[in-house]
Structure 1
């Protein structure tokens, strides 16, 4: 049976799906104060909504092959985008933290399924000649969600209230579901993954190494990036407007890095990772020094952002090359590792920041990422093969 010609619309549907879940996950970052005021809770408790989502996404992502079984992957994507829309509606109408927390649980479930599924869908929607570009496009949804989704949601909240921002997210989720239904072909799955096979990717040396690198870079990055604002504010000339500009610079260069490093990852995942990890380690190490000069800080953030923007596509390329036969299960577990590491990095970063301050935190984060760079340098993504 001839391979159908490659089309961009299904890939863009998956990219819109990742954009939708990432924007929904990150939205409380820009709305913590009004949410806390409206629900009559402390800002710290409101911030726990991110932890709730991250933990749920990590657990569900790892279990995605078992949860979905033989369910058509297009049907699954549509169903959990609808759940995402419902969860955002629940967020918009919540008057108690318990209801808001329930909504964040549902968003975590949706995010876990959608993100875990997207890693394996690229290989099914693109032929060999287009798979690298398809994966880069899919993971651009993550980068664009961080740089555009969060600021746009915050702008809507400033103009019409934080609840309106969640209503807009609900509409986005519904639109993404409709677009997926129209643009994507049916993606039936005949193989069922049981609990006994859930951890099989860990037995593959190349895949396992990819997970270890993922944990190190994500823990290091989010341990540092979560507290980038107070580090920048050590400079008395830093204003709220400059903070917005700094984060926008980070995000915009992240989008560029996603495509630039993604192009390299299609040919050599190891080379792409070495460049990305080096950039993140250098950026985190330099930012305490750079914070004393606005122009220097923006330059370092641009460098750091470009490096981090390519991490997702480079790591996914490593996992895929390590063992193409288990791309769905390995991608699902990778998503779980990624989201779990976000929670660990943010939590550990907070503890270290409170105890020692921003500079030690940034240097420790750089060291953690550097360890990942050394492991990458000493490794290859190709799995071990046993001779007959």
Structure 2
């Protein structure tokens, strides 16, 4: 059901968009917070650092599975209720982590969080399309992804700092009231979002039969794979090549995350009716920034500038690609969103694996070079974007 079919007043929908933006910030914070608390969590649960890292990655795996199943499993359920249920799962996951006395409990909690991640992202764009008129969708997406910028800027530094003050369990307990408020906000702000039909899983095959969409998914996979091949191993690069200590490292990560606010703001204005011309931009800008780090990463100022550019495009990337989906697969937004989220999550996991192999067997510079190669492939597939729009079908 589109915005027009829902008959909503446009002004009344922005509160719901803001509620979803807060959900994005909390989801990403919950997903990546353990990275900054890995060592104390390992000690508290009698596990190794590697085991905790593997548990963190489980959320990505369950997110892939959930993204492919959510529209079928949810059936004709009102999407407002589904979003509320997913947010409740995030709340339960945080409580389980905070109270965990065993590694097995942590694994179960991360699986639950992955269900929330996969389900939310699969439905998010289609819900945004029902909350605001078509002309406001790019701006609403940028506003929602503003939550990503908040999490990227503050989650890791705050997690590390607060962990030293109140312990890693205290950090997760501190997130609980925020998620509770978000849950109540969903109840109040989201309109009823009934679904007229049950999604048939066969629609995935129909969508993949659209050559422009399949080509877009390939470009998407290499774009995100490139980004996370680099980002996952940014810390060892900064420590080994740039030669920074913990304090400077935190400042550089804050610069990268804060630049995301610029990315979401600008992308909301740039994504118009011809979004295809922007599709190669994320891989081009982020790949060039990574190449710049390989060439000039031993200089602190140059590194800070390049990370700011990379961080701004990192948040703009999601707005651009989801804007493409909203314009070119508007007849099946939930199914298309499910496929895109599955591809993104799988690409993130694969990019981290490729980067890890290059790091272990060669060097961190090889990892960054691998990221540049993946970006070049993404640029080649995306081309000028004309073969990625439905008019080319």
**Any residues of structure 2 matched to 1:156-175 within 5 Å, and which?**
156-175=162-181
Please say if residues 223 and 378 of structure 2, whose CA atoms lie closer than 8 Å, have aligned partners that are also in contact: yes
Between 377-386 and 271-280, the greater mean CA deviation after superposition? 377-386
Q: Is 1:193–2:199 an aligned residue pair?
A: yes
CA distance in 2, matches of 1:153, 1:141: 17
In structure 2, distance between residues paired with 1:5 and 1:115: 22
Alignment correspondent of 1:63: 69
Aligned twin of 2:271:
265
Change in Cα spacing, 1:154 to 1:268, as seen in structure 2 (3 Å) is farther
Cα shift at 1:374: 1.9
- Are 1:251 and 1:305, in contact at CA under 8 Å, matched by a contact in 2? yes
- Asked whether the equivalents of residues 15 and 140 of structure 1 are also in contact (C-alpha less than 8 Å), the reply is yes
Distance 2:8 2:152 in 1: 35
Deviation at 1:236, TM superposition (A): 6.8
Q: What number of residue pairs does the alignment pair up?
A: 386
Separation (CA, whole Å) in 2 of partners of 1:140 and 1:271: 22
Aligned residue for 2:304?
A: 298
Q: Distance in 1 between matches of 2:274 and 2:175?
A: 36
Of 123, 138, 146, which aligns to 1:140? Answer: 146
> Are residues 1:226 and 2:212 paired?
no
What is the TM-score of this pair, normalised by structure 1? 0.95
* Residue of structure 2 equivalent to 1:4: 9
- Local SS of the residue matching 1:198: helix
Q: Please identify, of 176-185 and 230-239, the stretch whose mean Cα deviation from structure 2 is larger.
A: 230-239
TM-score by length of 2: 0.94
1:217 to 1:100, Cα distance in 2 relative to 1, 3 A:
same
Contact kept, 8 Å, 2:125 with 2:326, in 1: the verdict is no
Q: Does residue 279 in structure 1 map to residue 285 in structure 2?
A: yes
Query: Over aligned residues, Cα RMSD in angstroms?
Result: 1.7
Shift in alpha-carbon separation, 1:183–1:293, aligned structure 2, 3 A: same
Q: Is the 8 A contact 1:49 1:101 kept in 2?
A: yes
For the residues of structure 2 that align with 1:48 and 1:171, how far apart are their CA atoms?
Answer: 27
Q: Which moved more, 1:109-118 or 1:202-211?
A: 202-211
Q: Residues 225-276 of structure 1, C-alpha deviation per residue, up to 9 Å, x if partnerless?
A: 1111111112474111111111111111122112212321234322333332
Q: Cα distance, 1:33 vs. partner?
A: 0.5
1:370/1:235 CA distance change after superposition, 3 Å:
closer
Structure 2: gaps (5+ residues): none
Change (3 A) 1:201 1:173: farther
CA contact (8 A) 1:84 1:170 kept: no
The equivalent of 1:328 in structure 2 is 334
> Which deviates further from its counterpart, 239-248 or 166-175?
166-175
Aligned match of 1:382 in 383, 386, 389?
A: 389
Runs of 5+ consecutive residues of structure 1 not aligned to the other structure: none
